[in-house]
Amino acid sequence: MPPARNASRARARWPPGSAGAPPCAAAGPAPASRAPTTRRRTIAPPAATALRYHQCPVSEPSFPALLAAAAAAALGVGVLKASVGGGIGLVLTPALGLVLPVPVAVALLAPLLNLSDPLTLGLYWRQWDARQLRVLLPTVLAGVVLGIGLLALLSEFWLKKTIGVSVLAFVGAQLALRPRARTLFAGPPGAAVSAAFGLTAGVASSVAHSGGIVLGPYLIGLGLGNAAVVATANAVVAVTNLVKLGGYWAIGFLTGRILLAAVAALPLLALGTWLGWRVNRWLPRRWFEAALLALAVAGALRLLTG
């Protein structure tokens, strides 16, 4: 649907100045005729945003601006994924949102994450926990689907609060055991426990792109080494990233220009991945645990207060 018609429908839905009116409804009635203006590219908002803003058009920035943002984001994605295996949704999405429209920022991260997956997995090849992969992969995918369904049925507010409280409780239990040099799980947890964490991570990924804040503390609680934690988390997330990329393309979030900007930033993505891998090898175990738990707490607090 053309942006002008979208804006007209939004104005019909909300009179100008009414509470909750979207930005494109605030300008008042659509003019009868318009002078020729510079043509701007627009992208369709995602399903959840479309329900809220009734298809208000989102301006896509110029290609040089996309390239600059992609370059900075690529370096950050590579470092975070290869060093601690998470924190991208927590750190980079808000940062990119300062210089890009949020839908564009989210869409730009999607291909960067997919391009970084083979680079990261190549550095950590076969260092993952195979048993956890067998349990987590299907349950995380089920959680992604469940999260999308819950967003359509339940309040996003309460979903975020529930995930935030659960993560804080889990991190608190792990911190309580640290002075005794014990892990949260005395032995390999049962399939039901692993499946519950997988489902929660999948739902968190759908609701707030925060699956890593669930997987990180869980894998630390198993007593896995630094490399095994990052390898297992990245192997799980790689599958969900493919699902998200297809979804963003299907709803019009992802455009050819965004894909081209992400591909152009591939050299910086490779550099960031190598730097993150070096950081992971250098980090002492206690610092690694502290970094992951700090990211989990920050992500949980963001879900609770955002």
Q: What is the pLDDT of residue 203?
A: 84
Task: Report the Cα 93 to chain-centroid distance in Å.
Answer: 7
pLDDT at position 244 over 70 = yes
Instruction: Compute the average pLDDT of residues 166-174.
Output: 72
Task: Report the Cα 192 to chain-centroid distance in Å.
Answer: 25
Mind listing the pLDDT tens digit for each residue in 18-71?
444 444 444 444 444 444 444 445 554 444 444 333 345 556 788 999 999 999
Residues 6+ apart with CB under 8 A from 89: 208, 209, 210, 212, 299
Mind listing the pLDDT tens digit for each residue in 125-159?
999 999 889 989 999 999 888 877 776 676 767 76
Rounded-to-integer distance, Cα 95 and Cα 89, Å: 10
Rounded-to-integer distance, Cα 208 and Cα 192, Å: 24
Rounded-to-integer distance, Cα 167 and Cα 213, Å: 7
Task: Report the Cα 39 to chain-centroid distance in Å.
Answer: 31
Contact, 83 vs 281, CB < 8 A?
no
Helices (H), the chain: 3-13, 47-53, 63-83, 88-97, 102-123, 130-153, 156-177, 191-208, 212-221, 226-250, 256-264, 266-282, 285-305
Q: What does pTM read for this prediction?
A: 0.68
* Farthest CA pair distance, the chain: 73
Output the average pLDDT for the chain: 76
> Minimal CA–CA distance to 133: which of 236, 257, 263?
236
pLDDT at position 255 over 70 = yes
> What does the chain come to in residues?
306
Burial group, residue 25, by CB count within 10 angstroms (0-12, 13-18, 19+): buried
Q: Of the ranges 7-11, 19-23, 185-189, 238-242, which is most confident?
A: 238-242
Q: 213 or 3, which is more confident?
A: 213
pLDDT at position 215 over 50 = yes
% residues pLDDT > 90 (the chain):
23
Q: What is the pLDDT of residue 277?
A: 93
Q: What is the pLDDT of residue 151?
A: 67
Rounded-to-integer distance, Cα 175 and Cα 292, Å: 12
**What are the structural domain ranges in the chain?**
3-39, 63-305
pLDDT level of residue 91 (50, 70, 90 thresholds): confident
Q: What is the pLDDT of residue 186?
A: 56
Q: What is the pLDDT of residue 118?
A: 93
Burial group, residue 11, by CB count within 10 angstroms (0-12, 13-18, 19+): buried
pLDDT level of residue 177 (50, 70, 90 thresholds): low
95-99 contacts, C-beta under 8 A, 24 or more apart: 96/69, 99/65, 99/69
| Ranges 50-64, 229-243, 264-278, 291-305: which has the least confidence | 50-64
Q: 230 or 178, which is more confident?
A: 230
Residues 6+ apart with CB under 8 A from 265: 67, 70, 71, 73, 74, 112
Q: How does strand 42-43 pair with strand 58-59?
A: antiparallel
